[in-house]
Amino acid sequence: MSLLDTHIGFVEALRSAGLSVSLAEGLDAISALEKVTWHDRETVRAAYAATLVKRQPQRVTFDAVFDIYYPRLIGGGVAGEEAEPASDGPPDTGPELARFREALAEALAAGDQQALQDLAVEAVARFGAMPGRGPGLSSWSAYTSLQRVSPAELMDRLVQGLLASGLDDERAQRTAGRRIGDFTRLVEGDARRRIAEEKGPEHVVDVTVRPTIDRLDFTAARRSDLEEMRREIYPLARRLAARLTKEQHAQRRGPLDVRRTVRASIATGGVPLTTHHRPRRPHRTDLVVLCDVSGSVANFAQFTLMLVYALREAFSGVRAFTFVDDVVEVSDTFRPGADVVEVMESLSASISQAALWGRTNYGRALTRFAEEHADAIGPRSSLLVLGDGRSNYSDLALPVLADLAGRARHSWWLNPEHPRHWGTGDSAADQYGQVVPMVECRNLAQLGEFVHQIA
């Protein structure tokens, strides 16, 4: 492949991964590359990043694609080829594994990035090879090598080492966890590189590149993703608040103020050259949020509540209720300026109160809500139900929901599932959707759009 082909393939891959790279930006990248030296891979990466990536959340995707198209080394690298004949017999043996883990433990304890990178390459080369598989199947596996090496087992030893070097317990744990996580990522990255070498980069990009954090499904998020999402809530709320005030200012002109207009017209001989307007009275919604906090959708409900409360200035009042099969009010949890982590903790504590038998029962929860908190919904309030509508085939209490929706000014149902799953299995999304408009809300971007629309 020539250099230009690689460049074109790289840009194409970025586009297919969701970055909008225009032709002009591609040309910019080429002229940028003409101005820099090529002896350092990071220089090339930075030049590409400056010209092609215009949104920080896309940087992760960019880095993953870059590593595939401009790999750090080919095959085992020069050092690998020299080293290999030295060890006789199969590379993956017990003593070899013990020796390798020893080296890994030392590198982890020292936090030596270069050594860890080399060890990751070696880990895939030695323990991740799956020779003799059929055509079309890749012969390298990050999973196999991580299973064999199992860096997580080195955790205790690493923590001990860090404790000895003077860190306190909690920080030692965290540092150790981070280093092992980094090593795992290095191994995964190296396996991707090997597979890309074998099967062509296009294939790997399609399979392995994950969507950016604001496009990632709530239901598909891993633990680390959830933490990252949580960090995104406040910036997202700030952006939304900025947009809201700006839009309110834009439509500030209210109805004509006749008195002031006539008064001003005296100065111009009775001709009303400039008109004066009354300020528009901002409309604020009274929001009642009813959210399913059972295991399957708990994350989604938490994020939505957090976002609504971070934006509480945009609403005149917010009351929140959580349910599994019983209803409990959680409005008090959200004091102004409350701490994110504490709110999350007390929310999870409320889940146990919201569950009587622990099986989601929308019908029962809605009935209980109508009985106990009927006063929450008035003609000025908007009802927001959060949940996937999976009610374990129980009674749906559709008339109760219809009554609640009828009393409220507006009502919506946010569903974290893809519309193609609505109404499958025990999902009552279609039935509920006929009573209350059902909105798809699978990721932070969609959530932000929706909250902006109702605020």
Partner 1 sequence: MATRLATVTTWFDSADDATARLRAAGYLTDDATALTAYLAGALEKPLLVEGPAGVGKTELAKAVARAAGAELVRLQCYEGLDEARALYEWNYKKQLLRIQASGGGDSWSETHDDIFTEEFLLTRPLLSAIRRDEPTVLLIDEVDKTDVEVEGLLLEVLSDFQVTIPELGTISAICRPFVVLTSNASRELSEAVKRRCLFLHLDYPDAEREKAIVTSQVPGLDDKVAAQLVDVVVRLRELELQKAPSIAESVDWARTLIALQIGDLDEATVARTLGVVLKHASDQQRAIKELQLPR
Residues that bind partner 1 (CB under 8 A): 20, 22, 24-25, 28, 31-32, 35-37, 42-43, 46-47, 49-51, 53-56, 59, 171, 174, 230-231, 234-235, 238-239, 242-243, 246, 249, 337-341
DSSP per residue, 166-232: T--HHHHHHHHHHHHHHHHHHHHHHHHHHHHHHH-HHHHHHHHPPPPGGGS-STT--HHHHHHHHHH
- Show contacts of 94-101: CB within 8 Å, 24+ apart: 96/126, 97/127, 97/148, 97/149, 100/126, 100/127, 100/149, 101/149, 101/154
Considering the complex, state which of residue 46 and residue 130 has its C-beta at the smaller distance from partner 1: 46
Q: Which residue shows structure tokens 């209980």?
A: 368
- Reference 210, options 227, 192, 197, 198; nearest CA is 192
Considering the complex, state which of residue 19 and residue 366 has its C-beta at the smaller distance from partner 1: 19
In the complex, the smallest distance separating the C-beta of residue 20 from partner 1, rounded to whole angstroms, is 7
In the complex, the smallest distance separating the C-beta of residue 213 from partner 1, rounded to whole angstroms, is 14
- Taking the alpha carbons at both ends of the chain, their separation in whole angstroms is 53
Considering the complex, state which of residue 237 and residue 351 has its C-beta at the smaller distance from partner 1: 237
Considering the complex, state which of residue 381 and residue 446 has its C-beta at the smaller distance from partner 1: 446
Q: Which residues pair with 390 in a beta bridge?
A: 427
In the complex, the smallest distance separating the C-beta of residue 340 from partner 1, rounded to whole angstroms, is 5
Considering the complex, state which of residue 81 and residue 169 has its C-beta at the smaller distance from partner 1: 169
In the complex, the smallest distance separating the C-beta of residue 54 from partner 1, rounded to whole angstroms, is 4
Cα separation, 160 vs 109, in Å, equals 10
In the complex, the smallest distance separating the C-beta of residue 248 from partner 1, rounded to whole angstroms, is 12
Q: Which residue shows structure tokens 């020539």?
A: 2
Provide the 10 A C-beta neighbour count for residue 32: 16
Considering the complex, state which of residue 46 and residue 256 has its C-beta at the smaller distance from partner 1: 46
Q: Which residues pair with 427 in a beta bridge?
A: 390
Considering the complex, state which of residue 1 and residue 338 has its C-beta at the smaller distance from partner 1: 338
In the complex, the smallest distance separating the C-beta of residue 448 from partner 1, rounded to whole angstroms, is 11
Q: Which residue shows structure tokens 């890309």?
A: 196
- Reference 36, options 26, 48, 53; nearest CA is 48
In the complex, the smallest distance separating the C-beta of residue 2 from partner 1, rounded to whole angstroms, is 23
423 Rama sector, left if φ>0, alpha if ψ -120 to 50, beta otherwise? left
Considering the complex, state which of residue 214 and residue 403 has its C-beta at the smaller distance from partner 1: 214
Cα separation, 444 vs 298, in Å, equals 15
In the complex, the smallest distance separating the C-beta of residue 11 from partner 1, rounded to whole angstroms, is 14
